[in-house]
Amino acid sequence: MDDERLAAAWDALHSVYDPCSLVTGDPIDLVDLGVVRDVRISPDGEVVVVISPTSPGCMVVPIISSQVVDAVSEALCDGAVEVEVDREFLWTSEAMAPEARARKSEREQRMVEELGILPARERKRLALGNTSSVA
């Protein structure tokens, strides 16, 4: 029974999209983005979803948490859902699913080519005076 509930929770989390990716027009769900770190059933039957924001100062964590609770609650139709925010884990794009990471890289490349907007890592490199290319 717990395995079925866990599977349903993971499936539901694929329907919750990162608000920032929605703005870009290329939505990425929280699982593929690597924001969802764990889903478990507590001893009292509560579903616990552990998330890590993509940035330590992420302002949309309350919105994401609410959407996670709504999606998992709707999918399971029983029991409580809790969201734990793990701020110890430092998210990088390596946490992303490979397909999502490739899409993000393609989007960044389009931004450079079409709009002349450099990704944050390139802006930081230039601001620090490092003129060597970042891989």
pLDDT in tens, 31-44: 999 999 999 999 88
- The tokens for 22 are 């929605």
Q: Is 109 left (phi over 0), alpha (psi -120 to 50) or beta?
A: alpha
Tens-digit pLDDT profile for residues 63-80: 999 999 999 999 988 779
Can you identify the CATH homologous superfamily of domain 2-92? Fe-S cluster assembly (FSCA) (3.30.300.130)
Which comes out higher in pLDDT, residue 107 or 102?
102
Across the chain, mean pLDDT equals 88
**What pTM was estimated for this model as a whole?**
0.79
What Å distances lie between residue 38 and 59, 112, 115, CA to CA? 21, 34, 37
Task: Give residue limits of the domains in the chain.
Answer: 2-92, 97-135
Crossing angle (nearest 10°) for helices 61-76 and 2-13: 130
pLDDT, mean of residues 128-135? 62
